């Protein structure tokens, strides 16, 4: 599912499972982590992350997950968080080209990337209103800091998704492009960075990350999200939400523990 190529000091990491909107299961998280490690060992001077097909990444692949035995702590705590930390600390400028669904773990991939260019057709937000689960992968800290508490909870409660244009206007990401121009614009930006003063860029990256992590409390937020998700997976609504998704029907929640 994960493809890696290197061209002129730029690593290209591609999520290539368009049939499932590039949703990530445990194996693909491991593959993605390995791709970043390989790119780091190759000494690339920039990296581009993108997805094939109609979406960047629709989040976790739950198509075969049994909510009665779901190991949320293992998936989020032992796989997703270490991956996002590796991505965030990658020793070169990183860029993402995001289109279509950018949800859940897919949103986390963007949060862990230095510069995000996004298509006007992108969909950003919390899709968990129909799953009995909660936003994860750092989404709470990003939304509260950029959107404020009221808009964050409105998105979570309603399940409404922001367009790429709305996300950029709200300060979530860098620039918005027509979908047909997105990949080219992102690759061009990465190529410029790869031919630039890489060490100076990395100095700024370290300072910005330190300021961001202090202000957002990003990693503590992700730990809190993981703990909350682990608690929720024991509820009837969690099991009902997953079953409804897998059976392609509307869930019927009780709101009870």
Residues 6+ positions from 204 with CB-CB distance below 8 Å? none
The overall pTM is greater than 0.75: yes
- Distance, in Å, from the CA atom of 228 to the CA atom of 48, rounded to the nearest integer, reads 32
Distances, alpha carbon 86 to alpha carbons 15, 39, 94, 231, in Å: 17, 12, 12, 26
SS3 (DSSP) at 163: strand
pLDDT digits (tens), the chain, 257 positions: 899 999 999 999 999 999 999 999 999 999 999 999 999 999 999 999 999 999 999 998 878 777 777 788 888 889 999 999 999 999 999 999 999 999 999 999 999 999 999 999 999 988 877 777 878 888 888 898 889 999 999 998 888 999 999 999 999 999 999 999 999 999 999 999 999 998 999 999 999 888 877 666 777 777 887 887 777 777 877 777 777 777 778 877 777 76
């Amino acid at each position: 599912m994960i493809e890696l190529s290197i061209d002129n000091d730029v690593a290209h990491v591609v999520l290539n499972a368009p049939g499932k909107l590039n949703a990530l299961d445990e194996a693909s998280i491991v593959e993605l982590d390995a791709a970043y490690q390989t790119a780091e060992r190759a000494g690339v001077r920039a990296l581009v992350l993108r997805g094939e097909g109609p979406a960047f990444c629709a989040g976790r692949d739950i198509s075969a997950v049994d909510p009665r035995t779901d190991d949320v702590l293992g998936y989020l705590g032992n796989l997703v968080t270490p991956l996002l930390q590796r991505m965030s600390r990658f020793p070169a400028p990183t860029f993402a080209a995001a289109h279509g669904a950018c949800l859940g773990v897919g949103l986390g991939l963007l949060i862990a990337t230095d510069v995000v260019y996004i298509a006007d057709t992108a969909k950003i937000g919390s899709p968990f209103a129909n799953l009995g689960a909660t936003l994860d992968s750092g989404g709470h800290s990003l939304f509260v800091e950029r959107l404020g508490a009221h808009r964050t909870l409105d998105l979570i409660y309603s399940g409404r998704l922001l367009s790429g244009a709305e996300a950029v206007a709200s300060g979530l990401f860098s620039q918005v492009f027509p979908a047909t121009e997105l990949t080219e614009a992102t690759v061009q930006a990465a190529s410029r960075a790869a031919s630039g003063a890489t060490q100076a860029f990395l100095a700024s990256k370290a300072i910005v990350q330190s300021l961001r992590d202090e202000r957002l409390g990003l990693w503590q937020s992700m730990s809190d999200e993981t703990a909350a998700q682990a608690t929720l997976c024991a509820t009837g609504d969690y099991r009902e939400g997953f079953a409804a998704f897998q059976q392609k029907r509307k869930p019927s929640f009780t709101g009870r523990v």
